[in-house]
Structure 1
Amino acid sequence: MYFVTGGSFNGKSKWVKVHFNLNSTDTTWISLFNRERIHLEDIDFSKSVIVIEGLEYGIRSSILNNDPEIRKSLTTLMQFLKQWEEEEPDRKVIWIGSEIGKGIVPMDKLSREWRDMTGWVYQDLAEMSQKVWLVWYGLATSLKR
């Protein structure tokens, strides 16, 4: 599994497409910008690459819907996708999530919960991923090899 993070609108998706040489015929691209969860039936497992972007918005939507099991549900999904990826050498699972905190503590409770949960989920994802990159202004820095 791979994890790409960095600032909003800093070129993460473009970098992923170029770095992994992705095309639409072999890639399932799932956006969480306008949805809460990923359902397994939404994933085309016949393709060798799964990209999930907007993870921070999926987390935010779950918080807004009072989901008490956000982290557990995402960890279970990550573990499932990691196992799927490891079954075949050509398979890849790539997660893209924007950095939303940078150490700034928001004033309102919802924003604090969102920042905290996103940080915890990103820690889980970074631990499970074999490689992690930070992308700023279209330039990637490897954080984990």
Structure 2
Amino acid sequence: MHFITGGAFNGKRAWVKNTYGLTGSWLSAYQETPLTENFNHINSDLLVLEGIEIWIKELTKTYDSYRSREIWIQIINNWLSWEKAELERRLVVIGTDITKGVVPIERENRLWRDVTGWAYQDLSAMADKVDVIWYGLNQTIKQTGDEKQ
């Protein structure tokens, strides 16, 4: 799994398209695609999931921080199972960093921010590669020997 993060409108989508091409499936929370754990319907070896902070926000509307994180970790494990089921498969996960800056006043937005930060830590720990994109430029902050290209 390759996790890509960075600020809003900093070129994450363009960087992924340039790096991986447009030959895979692309699921975007920004286009109201629901959060899914099962990708058996995907007929591609490349799967890009975009806008995961939106899916995390939906979890925090229903569950407390601990339950949201438990569910999130299970979802990541299901995604990784899909990726590892076939040697050629590659999962790319894109999430906008909402954890910097002013702490929100509203309780629900603080919860969303906190859970997103924990979720990104979980993604980073489980990912083979992690890149931060700022102004269209990437910085690789994690790369294991298991990473696929």
The TM-score normalised by the length of structure 2 is 0.85
Identify the residue that residue 60 of structure 2 maps to in structure 1: 63
Unaligned runs of 5+ in 2: 144-149
Matched, 1:31 2:28: yes
Pair 139,52 (structure 1): closer, same or farther in 2 beyond 3 Å: same
Distance 1:73 1:118 in 2: 13
Counterpart residue identity of residue 110, structure 1: E
Unaligned runs of 5+ in 1: none
Identify the residue that residue 129 of structure 1 maps to in structure 2: 127
Q: 1:85-96 residue pairs with structure 2 within 5 A? A: 85-96=83-94
Identify the residue that residue 106 of structure 1 maps to in structure 2: 104
Question: By how many angstroms is 1:103 displaced?
Answer: 5.0
Root-mean-square deviation over aligned CA pairs: 1.8
Matched, 1:50 2:50: no
The TM-score normalised by the length of structure 1 is 0.87
Counterpart residue identity of residue 119, structure 1: G
1:27-46: CA deviations, max 9, x gaps? 121111235522526x6332
Q: 1:9-20 residue pairs with structure 2 within 5 A? A: 9-20=9-20
1:21-67: CA deviations, max 9, x gaps? 232xxx121111235522526x6332101111101111112222x23
How many residue pairs are counted as aligned between the two chains? Answer: 140
Indicate the percent of aligned positions where both proteins have the same amino acid.
36
